[in-house]
Structure 1
Amino acid sequence: MRKRRENVKNHEREVRVFRHRSLVAALIIVLMAGAIVSRLVYLQVIEHDVFITRSDNNRMRVEPLPPRRGLIYDRHGKLLAENRPTYNLTIVRERVDDLDTTLQRLVDILDLPEDEVETFRERSRQRQRPYQPALLISDLTEDQIARLAVNRYLLSGVEVEAQLMRYYPDPIVMSHVLGYVGRINAEELADLDPGNYAGTHFIGKTGIEYTYEDALHGKAGLRKVETNARGRVLRELERSPAVPGKDITLTIDSRLQHMAYDLLGGRRGAIVAIQPKTGDILAMVSAPGFDINKFVTGISYKDYRALQENLDLPLYNRAVRGQYPPGSTVKPFEALAALQDGVVKPDDIIYDPGYFQLPNDTRRYHNWLRWGHGRVDLERALEVSNNTYFYTMAYRLGIDRLSAFMHQFGFGEVTSLDVQGALPGLMPSREWKREKYNQVWYPGETLSAGIGQGYFMATPLQLAAATATLANHGHWVRPHLAKRVGDEAIEPPFADTKPDVELDKARWWQDVYKGMEAVLNGSEGTARKVGAGMQYQMAAKTGTAQVFSLGQNQKYDADELTERLRDHALFIGFAPVDDPQIAIAVIVENAGGGVSGLGRELTDAWLLPDSELKDPPDTTVNEEVESIDGD
């Protein structure tokens, strides 16, 4: 009986359980519904602005507008660097589903040669800011553009962009002045303003393009566009235009630049011409040059390797980085040092037996003319480039006073305003040798410095700048390449200009000028053939610089030497003497002689542009090799 009762259902208990469970389920449903409603309120009301922005970003995006790069002109308005329209292939990695697959498709579509495929892939992996286009190929051909258009549906994240690309009409003659632009690399990318360089693929690498990068580049702009689901642009919604870069007018005279390059005639060398009163660099040539247009789109490994391995070093800017012994071209400056320090007077006579000897020393330092010039004063010493006279001056001055005075003319220093990569050369001193080699200075080394040899080194730009200062009676104007940047004129005085060179007696300038005029006009002048028929007065000095040293009793014989062991030939000059309009420095490597005519012809071209010489100047040099005998 008791067992049957246990099997009877307890309806009241079941009702209580059902009600309890229903209440729990209803509560869960209410809580879930409340959570959903709360989430909807959060998304639709509280976060409305955030998500409407995200929604817009799915159909709209902001794209950078790279600025037009400023143009570069010569002093007469001739275009030296321009921008040409071109089409470039770019990729935004973040918008590509499968980068490797997309790259392979591009290789197949464009039918790229094997030697370009690896470079192509490297560019795709180059570090880039998020959502910024990476440049894959520059200057696409019409055939390549057509192929990409047909296969566009397969290439998400890939775009063909119309942009302006740098082009140089005179790529070889102007190579070392202008420099070139090239692709922005990872190191440069880390240092650049991400906003201002957004969408920009090129940056100035060398020369004027590098020095005035900030002015030439301009300011980037922006545009807002509407896109479809594949990221293709449908329409432009808003635009903030880019600010173009500033145009730059150089001091260079392209006619003179071309003439200087042609005068070198394929030989290795450099010519620099400066306007003394303003510091304008009229011509700055380093030969041989190279085609800078190849560097804009990215020079091939084969072509770059060929330039690097070329024995003539076309990439090397001899005008500003070539450090050569200046030879006898420093003798006018040494003469001024001797006059200023009172170790000689203009009319003092020194007897030259063909050599100079230090006291208590049997070693002879020979004059280039073995039997000597006999009685020599300052004017004749410059005219015939007498070594013995200047050995004597150097010995009397000592290296300390000689070095200090030469520094006043910029030797051993960088004095230019905006010439990228200029080197200081070397004006040796007692302290310099002690710090460099931990050795004492020897008197014989002072004699070597006295004729521009030994440790003494100068660049062609330094020689031209020193010559311009000499022409200005010691007044310094820093050499510069930019004449105008945008609307701003670049004119002296310039900051950090060296103090003027001051002499106790102003007539000493004329004493040195007379000796330099005699180089061209004197009966014994080392370049007297070049001075024949000159229509203006020019002050000049020739020189030679040794490539290797001769033994004590050896005599220089160019015919017995290989071409690259022969002496370098140098020339400096300015004209007209009474109102200098141009100062020139010339160096031709391993020429031995024959460069004075180059300086004369370039000066004629500047001072007498409309005249024609009936009898072209003899370009041979009479000066013998000014060697230092000894080990």
Structure 2
Amino acid sequence: MLIRHSSFNTTDSDLDRFRNRIVVVAALVLLAFGVLLARFVYLQVIQHDYYTTRAEDNRISLVPIPPNRGTIVDRNGIVLARNYSAFTLEITPSKVKDLDATIDALATLVDIQPKDKRRFRKLLEESKSFESLPIRARLSDEEVARFAANRYRFPGVEVKARLFRQYPLGPSASHAIGYINRINKKDLEHIEANDQAANYKGTDHIGKTGLEQKYEFHLHGITGYERVEIDAGGRAVRGLSRTAPVSGNNLTLTLDIKLQEIAEKAFGDRRGALVAIEPSTGGILALVSTPSFDPNLFIDGIRAEDWNELNDSPNRPMINRALNGAYPPGSTFKPFMALAALELGKRTAGQAIADPGFFNFGGHTFRDDKKGGHGIVDMYKSIVESCDTYYYILANDMGIDNIARFMAPLGFGSKTGIDIDGESAGVLPSPEWKKRRFKRREQQKWFAGETISIGIGQGYNAYTPIQLAQATAMLVNNGVLFRPHLVKYITDSKSGAKTMIEPQPLRSLHWKKEHVETIKKAMVGVNKEGTGARAFAGAEYTSGGKTGTAQVFSLKGSEYKASQIKEHLRDHALFIAFAPVDEPKIALAVLVENGGFGAQSAAPIARMVLDYYLLGKKPKGAAQEDEAATEEDPHDQ
């Protein structure tokens, strides 16, 4: 009995432990289900909107739609930059297993040249792997059809319709218009700095130079978006909604492209620059830098051989000589020196000197261009015959400080503020400038003898053609200086509203009217009886001008003979002009690099430009340098 009782006690104890375990397990199960239920409520109720949005995002893709880039036209509506649509074969590297094999296979269907492969590799290095990159642009209809029939063989490869930029006039005005090219890292930083990152989704190109760069955010437009439903493989199934892009704004320029072409042809194969300005507004009528380049070469990435040809050329076609080239102005500086003398009371118009053909100063002889001198020379004759001795003496009497103070407000030695980037400031010499320019103390001192050559536009003088044109425009506009600009107005592509670029007067100098008339009268004399008379013989309008010749290196007293000097060491030829005299509509500056004397090389170019602009006359052919005449007639500084 005792043993049996003990057995019953053990069984009861086991049952109690079992029941306790069941309760614990049941509690744990209930707790687990409670946690799951709570998580379910959290996900399905509290976080419903969040996960619904994420699921929708996984199902819906936003595809950017790049806008049409704005067009650029000249003042008469002639198109200088436009767009056209074409098909491009593109590869998304992240979706392709074997890139080389894919490209080789594509080459059996589409003409893919080594240059296309090189450009693709370069883009691949600069881009992200999930971006679509072009392997061939501008496919023919036949090539598109061949690829479409074999599309299934090429995952990650597709044909896209793209807009391409075109410059229909090629090299004409290319330094002013500029060009576009693919966006790089530096461009992205600029875009982000201007809070434009979202607006450039899907955009591959951006303005790199000229107006294309300066007015980029006007020309680009507003990117549109398409909401597309995609499948698990990331392929588009159907479009859901679309926000249309807004095309970029259009630019209408002050530039007259026909005038521009006349000027470019007038240079022939010579290097140089020309800037023509409307004095009453500051509008640029022509901006020539020759030789030039074809901006169409850069759009898809320039070929190595084309770049090497441009970059290695001794003629430096990529340099914008009109804005970047700084040259001694030579005798074109004399009218401004004469005006300074009148305004500062250093000379009167009738005050004369006896010119022996030289000026001695500090043991050095500064020679005139004419042996024996010009005789008795007043201010009128000093400009008409371009007497160096007159300006040697004048510069010494005025002093460098007076010269620098008078010339600075005319824009010499400072950027004009034209609406394209890359402008040089040039050099307006002064004792302060020399201290900044040179490091050694002995080099920083200004010597009185250095002032003498400043008076004839030599020495440290170095100005850009646009500065010379601007100063000439300011002179004939009676001291009112307008900021030079290329854009006349911007047209909103959506509303059609035009935003005018109003003429912006930078400063107004209160010169005495009789002083200005004295200088203008002398410049008219240059083209009637002086150094510009041959170039302007028989002109049907009255113009004013001034020839100039700027030394590239010192002859040290030797006689100048162009035929005996290497071409790149010959003098630069310059000419400034305005017309008509009563109400000037155009002022210009011409520079012909190593062109010799201004009357022979630069003045005829100015005549062709003025003839066309004022009379509509077109020259029979481009101006050609007359070497024989240059040798025979050195009297045209």
Q: Same fold (TM over 0.5)?
A: yes
Secondary structure at 1:357's aligned position in 2? strand
Aligned-pair identity (%): 41
Residue number in structure 1 paired with 2:170: 171
Structure-to-structure mapping, 1:417-436, within 5 angstroms: 417-436=418-437
1:472 to 474, 477, 501: 477
Residue 154 to residue 2, structure 1, CA distance change in 2 (3 Å): farther
CA distance in 1, matches of 2:54, 2:430: 70
Residue number in structure 1 paired with 2:494: none
Residue number in structure 2 paired with 1:249: 252
Residue 67 to residue 618, structure 1, CA distance change in 2 (3 Å): closer
Residue 118 to residue 521, structure 1, CA distance change in 2 (3 Å): closer
Whether 1:518 aligns to 2:519 is no
CA contact (8 A) 1:545 1:626 kept: no
Gaps of 5+ in 2: 492-496
CA contact (8 A) 1:517 1:537 kept: yes
Structure-to-structure mapping, 1:134-533, within 5 angstroms: 134-137=132-135, 139-142=137-140, 145-146=144-145, 149-150=148-149, 152-153=151-152, 158-192=157-191, 193-358=196-361, 361-437=362-438, 438=441, 439-486=444-491, 487-494=497-504, 497-503=505-511, 505-522=512-529, 525-533=530-538
Structure-to-structure mapping, 1:539-578, within 5 angstroms: 539-551=544-556, 553-578=557-582
Residue 612 to residue 79, structure 1, CA distance change in 2 (3 Å): closer
Residue number in structure 1 paired with 2:616: 609
Residue number in structure 2 paired with 1:101: 98
Secondary structure at 2:336's aligned position in 1? helix
Residue 157 to residue 6, structure 1, CA distance change in 2 (3 Å): farther
Whether 1:77 aligns to 2:77 is yes
CA distance in 2, matches of 1:72, 1:115: 30
Tell me which amino acid in the other structure corresponds to 2:178: G
CA distance in 1, matches of 2:97, 2:190: 29
Residue 625 to residue 550, structure 1, CA distance change in 2 (3 Å): farther
Deviates more, 1:137-146 or 1:34-43: 137-146
CA distance in 1, matches of 2:479, 2:114: 61
Q: C-alpha offsets along residues 215-260 of structure 1, whole Å, 9 cap, x if unaligned?
A: 1111222221112222222222112222211100001111111111
Cα offset, 1:146, TM superposition: 4.7
Q: C-alpha offsets along residues 9-47 of structure 1, whole Å, 9 cap, x if unaligned?
A: 943343334333333333333333333333333332222
Gaps of 5+ in 1: none
Deviates more, 1:481-490 or 1:192-201: 481-490
CA distance in 2, matches of 1:468, 1:88: 48
Tell me which amino acid in the other structure corresponds to 1:440: K
Q: C-alpha offsets along residues 301-333 of structure 1, whole Å, 9 cap, x if unaligned?
A: 232122111110010000111111110011101
CA distance in 1, matches of 2:456, 2:463: 13
Deviates more, 1:392-401 or 1:156-165: 156-165
Cα offset, 1:76, TM superposition: 0.2
Secondary structure at 2:237's aligned position in 1? strand
CA distance in 2, matches of 1:270, 1:175: 13
Residue number in structure 1 paired with 2:607: 600
CA distance in 1, matches of 2:14, 2:341: 127
Cα offset, 1:214, TM superposition: 1.4
Residue number in structure 1 paired with 2:584: 580
CA contact (8 A) 1:87 1:160 kept: yes
Deviates more, 1:189-198 or 1:75-84: 189-198
CA contact (8 A) 1:157 1:231 kept: no
Q: C-alpha offsets along residues 592-617 of structure 1, whole Å, 9 cap, x if unaligned?
A: 03221110111000000158899x99
CA distance in 1, matches of 2:203, 2:377: 65
Residue 425 to residue 100, structure 1, CA distance change in 2 (3 Å): farther
Cα offset, 1:144, TM superposition: 5.6
Q: C-alpha offsets along residues 459-482 of structure 1, whole Å, 9 cap, x if unaligned?
A: 111111111111112221221100
CA distance in 2, matches of 1:206, 1:242: 25
Task: Tell me how large the CA RMSD over aligned residues is.
Answer: 2.8
Structure-to-structure mapping, 1:38-77, within 5 angstroms: 38-77=38-77
Q: C-alpha offsets along residues 394-433 of structure 1, whole Å, 9 cap, x if unaligned?
A: 1111111111111121111112331321212111001111
Secondary structure at 2:288's aligned position in 1? strand
Deviates more, 1:139-148 or 1:2-11: 2-11
Cα offset, 1:363, TM superposition: 1.6
Secondary structure at 2:506's aligned position in 1? coil
CA contact (8 A) 1:71 1:82 kept: yes
Tell me which amino acid in the other structure corresponds to 2:139: T
Secondary structure at 1:498's aligned position in 2? strand
Tell me which amino acid in the other structure corresponds to 2:467: Q
Residue 43 to residue 608, structure 1, CA distance change in 2 (3 Å): same
Tell me which amino acid in the other structure corresponds to 1:559: S
Tell me which amino acid in the other structure corresponds to 1:488: K
CA contact (8 A) 1:271 1:460 kept: yes
Q: C-alpha offsets along residues 332-378 of structure 1, whole Å, 9 cap, x if unaligned?
A: 010000111111111111111110112xx332100011221111111
Cα offset, 1:154, TM superposition: 5.8
